[in-house]
A and B are shown apart, each in its own frame.
Chain A
Amino acid sequence: KNEVEQSPQNLTAQEGEFITINCSYSVGISALHWLQQHPGGGIVSLFMLSSGKKKHGRLIATINIQEKHSSLHITASHPRDSAVYICAVSGSLTGTASKLTFGTGTRLQVTL
């Protein structure tokens, strides 16, 4: 079983829809990261959080430490949001507070 699991693996939405991507992890962490990877490969860090909720523009990330679960929400989705969204954790019980352990990603396509 992977330490970090994401769902869904693939997601297609129409422009304007509210989108939720889920991430569950099985180990203790120091932080959870949401990353965005556009076609062409560049990875951008969207959020790093260890508790509660963060918001940036149309993006919202939440984390429930007790349930070991995080969600990434996109409000009023737009075709430019089409990308792979990756959940990653740092600071597992067997690791360090440094390296990231990654989920397999959610491929999002937003159509007009």
Chain B
Amino acid sequence: GAGVSQSPSNKVTEKGKDVELRCDPISGHTALYWYRQSLGQGLEFLIYFQGNSAPDKSGLPSDRFSAERTGGSVSTLTIQRTQQEDSAVYLCASSLVPPYEQYFGPGTRLTVT
């Protein structure tokens, strides 16, 4: 079956612009996670969805970051007024009800110029 997919695979944007990143989880996976991997830094948690609700948003770095999930499936991570420090690979993962093995998407590489 299909794995986790993300789009776009690469995004270059100018500082100050808004961007939307999309994640399609594995069908049937109720849990969805967004993570970020910055150059020279490790992976960090951003937000967790269970169904359409987000019980844990503790990793979102500022109020410029938001995410939603509709229909218990697709999720969109939105970054408003992008800054250069937002440049990173944004990874999505999905799983059955936690704690279960997480399946990662290929990521979206965001470059803010």
| A interface, CB within 8 angstroms of B | 30-31, 33, 35, 41-45, 48, 50, 86, 88, 90-91, 95-105
Residues of B within 8 A of A (CB): 31, 33, 35, 37, 42-45, 48, 50, 55-56, 58-59, 89, 91, 93, 98-104, 106-107, 109
Q: Are B43 and A86 in contact (CB under 8 A)?
A: yes
Whole-angstrom distance between the alpha carbons of A96 and B101 in the complex?
15
CA distance A31 to B98 in the complex (A): 10
Contact indicator A96/B56 (Cβ below 8 Å): yes
Q: Is A98 touching B99 in the complex (CB atoms < 8 A)?
A: yes
Q: Complex Cα distance A105/B42, Å? A: 8
Query: B100 touching A96 by the CB < 8 A rule?
Result: no
| Cα distance, A33 to B109, chains bound together (Å) | 24
Return the chain B residue nearest A100 by Cβ: B45
Q: In the bound complex, what is the Cα–Cα distance between A86 and B42 (angstroms)?
A: 9
Q: Are A33 and B44 in contact, with the CB atoms below 8 A? A: no
Known: A98-B31, A100-B45. A33 touches B101 (CB 8 A): yes
CB pair B99–A43 under 8 Å, yes or no, is no
Kindly list chain B residues whose C-beta atoms are within 8 Å of the C-beta of A45.
101-104
Contact yes or no, A97 B99, CB < 8 A: yes
Is the Cβ of A99 less than 8 Å from the Cβ of B59?
yes
Neighbour of A41 across the interface among B45, B99, B107, CB < 8 A: B107
Q: How many Å lie between the Cα of A91 and that of B48 in the bound state? A: 13
CB <8 Å contact, B101 and A98: no
Given contacts A35-B104, A98-B98, A103-B42, 13 further A-B contacts (CB under 8 A): A33-B101, A33-B102, A44-B104, A45-B104, A97-B98, A98-B99, A99-B56, A99-B58, A99-B59, A100-B35, A100-B43, A101-B45, A102-B43
Specify the chain A residue showing the minimal Cβ separation from B103.
A45
Q: Is the CB of B33 within 8 A of A100?
A: yes
When distances are taken between beta carbons in the complex, the residues of chain B under 8 Å from A50 are 99
